[in-house]
Structure formats: structure tokens, C-alpha cells
Amino acid sequence: MEERYSCADCRTKSCHAGDGKYPAFCPGTDFPEEVMNEAMQEYDKPEIRQLAVAAAETEAENYCRMTRMEETVEFAKKIGAKRIGIATCVGLLTEAGTAAKIFRKHGFAVISIGCKCGEQKKADIGIPEFCHVTGVNMCNPIMQAKYLNKEKTDLNVLIGLCVGHDSLFYRYADAPVTTLVSKDRVLAHNTVAALYQADKYLHLL
């Protein structure tokens, strides 16, 4: 297996500090000019620049002061969103309901859709029978995305979609997507705890 070091292996953060102390494997020291040019040209599109500026302003104004829920509200306001779509796991309908109340309190229209809505069977798309241990009806993130596309949402918020199901939602959604809750049943949805305890307790390394 090829062992190639890159940003995840860096501890200098020199690209943030601007001190020029880059490790030998730093991608930024020999970055493909055409890739950077292509990326930066995307920010010339008004709708992309609006998202980028709103994201930066939300970070700068609320860093370490607001929860992610609060920051999501502020971001939605900055991009002029009126209709918020919530794509939720049906196992987190209570949490989705609370989020919907918060969005509505701030004047947003909320359209939510659960992953099992429509009750399509796992067997119908060739999902193996052993997967029925979590139920015979499939999670349907493509349906969730299509439904919110039809509702013409301005911003979609994910609450607890499974690993991989979230990937399908991102792929098919028309509106920008942000994740409020990443599902982790073992760690009460505190996914980063697995990284903090990877070596000491979870023996992942």
C-alpha cells in the first residue's frame, strides 16, 4: 500500500500561521497551479461567493461563542434563506422537531422529510437480507433530496443521516447542504470522541 503523507499528517499549520515552516511533504509547496486557478475561479460565481462570504462572516462573528445550531441560523440569515429543508433520520425525529422549532422562531419556513418516508423495501434495490436487522424499509436519501428539491428549499440541514446515506443526499440535493448532527449511536452523536480516544480506549490505531 502506498504511504503518502499530506495535510492530515501535518502538525505545523504553517499555511494558517504564514510562517513558512512547511514540512517536506506539504502539498502547498508544490501545488498544481491549474487546480488552484480552477478553484478560485468558482468564487467569481455570485451564488458561490455569497456562500463563501457568509460562511467566513459566520465563523468570524461567532467563533467559540455560538453553538453549531445557532451558527446554522446565522448562516441561513446571511444567505437570505427563507425555506429550510431538514433531512432527518427517523430515529432523530425529536431532535429534528426541536431544530424545526428553533428555525421557525427565527422566521424560517421549515420543510422536513424522514429517511423512511414512503416505505420502500430494502429488498427492492438488492440490499442483502441480513440488513433487515435494522428494519425492512430502506433509508431513502435520494427521495429526501428530490422531495426537498421539489419544495425549492434554500438551505438543507442534515440531522443524523447514516454514513453513506448522507453521501447520497449531498449528491442529489439542489440547495446548499450543512450538517447539524452526524449520527453516532455509540457516542451519543459526539463523533469526534472516537478520534480523541482512538488509541487509549477504542484501540482503533
Is residue 56 one of the residues assigned to a domain? no
Is residue 138 one of the residues assigned to a domain? yes
For residues 145 and 169, the answer to whether their CB atoms sit within 8 Å is yes
Is residue 110 one of the residues assigned to a domain? yes
Is residue 49 one of the residues assigned to a domain? no
- State how many domains the chain has: 1
Q: Distances in Å between the alpha carbon of 135 and those of 129, 130, 145, 166?
A: 10, 10, 21, 18
pLDDT in tens, the chain (205 residues): 778 899 999 999 999 998 989 999 999 888 899 999 999 999 999 999 999 999 999 999 999 999 999 999 999 999 999 999 999 999 999 999 999 999 999 999 999 999 999 999 999 999 999 999 999 999 999 999 999 999 999 999 999 999 999 999 999 999 999 999 999 999 999 999 999 999 887 788 8
Give me the CATH number covering residue 140.
3.40.50.11840
The whole domain housing 154 covers 67-205
Is residue 79 one of the residues assigned to a domain? yes
Is residue 46 one of the residues assigned to a domain? no
* Axis crossing angle, helix 46-62 with helix 68-78, rounded to the nearest 10: 140
pLDDT of residue 47: 97
Q: Considering the entire predicted model, what is its pTM?
A: 0.94
DSSP state letter for 45: S
Is residue 137 one of the residues assigned to a domain? yes
Is residue 185 one of the residues assigned to a domain? yes
Q: Distances in Å between the alpha carbon of 129 and those of 98, 115, 159?
A: 34, 19, 26
